[in-house]
């Protein structure tokens, strides 16, 4: 039986996103995975993505149905800024393991980074359907709606002189979208830490 993928961080972070993502993945799977995957996780933590990819590929050659290893491969591709490859890995995981919300969440992170908010929303809704109490997906969906609201208020504020209400709402949404250090947003809690 394969182990479940790990929850991922919020899509608002950019540079810090993958650092948190790796910590969450590593914290979750270390007690559950074989030694080769523990080595892969160490390489990921060190930012040694090519070596990690080589090891995870070798492991997947012997255990192609291991969801955790596939998930780690998506993490590696994300860390290498190979977004298209990461999307392929996570999409396959959602097809093979639709009960796991984390690949949907990771797809949403990648889609949001590409400013493909409709696909991000759909992926987050799928994560919530798969696991209704998955707080990270609910929070990310809220953040996505705030981002969309901010864009709409910005446009409203620029059109026809803009209303004071639209400008006030725009200011409030910008506060909500402030970097994590300035907002109350938190990454998903890691399991088994």
What does the pLDDT read at residue 5? 52
Contact, 100 vs 93, CB < 8 A?
Answer: yes
Q: Which of 41, 12, 183 is nearest to 105 (CA)?
A: 12
Contacts of 119 (CB under 8 A, 6+ apart): 107, 108, 111
Query: Which domain does 68 fall in, by range?
Result: 15-180
What does the pLDDT read at residue 178? 83
**28 found inside a domain:** yes
**56 found inside a domain:** yes
Can you give the CATH number for the domain in which 172 is found? 1.25.40.10
**89 found inside a domain:** yes
For residue range 30-69, what is the model confidence (pLDDT) as tens digits? 444 457 799 999 999 999 999 999 999 999 999 999 999 9
Contact, 93 vs 122, CB < 8 A?
Answer: no
* Separation between Cα atoms, residue 99 and residue 78, nearest integer Å: 22
**192 found inside a domain:** no
**186 found inside a domain:** no
Q: How many CA atoms lie within 13 A of 83 on its CB side?
A: 10
Beta strand ranges found along the chain (DSSP E): none
Task: Write the Ramachandran bin of 134: left for phi over 0, alpha for psi from -120 to 50, otherwise beta.
Answer: beta
For residue range 168-178, what is the model confidence (pLDDT) as tens digits? 888 898 888 88
pLDDT < 70 stretches in the chain: 1-34, 180-193
Q: Longest C-alpha distance within the chain, in Å? A: 63
DSSP letter for 159, please. G
What does the pLDDT read at residue 125? 97
**Domain count for the chain:** 1
**190 found inside a domain:** no
**191 found inside a domain:** no
């Amino acid at each position: 039986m394969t182990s479940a993928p790990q929850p991922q961080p919020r899509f608002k972070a950019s540079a810090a996103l993958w650092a948190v993502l790796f910590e969450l993945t590593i914290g979750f799977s270390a007690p559950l995975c074989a030694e080769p995957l523990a080595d892969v996780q160490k390489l990921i933590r060190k930012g040694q993505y090519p070596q990690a990819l080589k090891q995870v590929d070798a492991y997947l050659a012997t255990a192609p149905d291991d969801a955790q290893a596939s998930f780690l491969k998506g993490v590696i591709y994300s860390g290498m800024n190979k977004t298209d490859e990461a999307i392929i890995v996570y999409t396959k995981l959602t097809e093979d393991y639709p009960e796991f919300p984390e690949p949907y969440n990771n797809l949403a992170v990648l889609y949001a980074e590409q400013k493909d908010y409709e696909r991000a929303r759909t992926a987050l809704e799928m994560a919530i359907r798969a696991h209704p109490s998955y707080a990270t997906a609910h929070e990310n969906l809220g953040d996505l709606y705030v981002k969309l609201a901010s864009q709409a208020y910005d446009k409203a504020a620029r059109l026809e002189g803009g209303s004071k209400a639209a400008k006030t709402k725009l200011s409030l949404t910008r506060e909500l979208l402030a970097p994590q250090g300035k907002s109350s947003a938190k990454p998903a809690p890691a399991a088994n830490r």
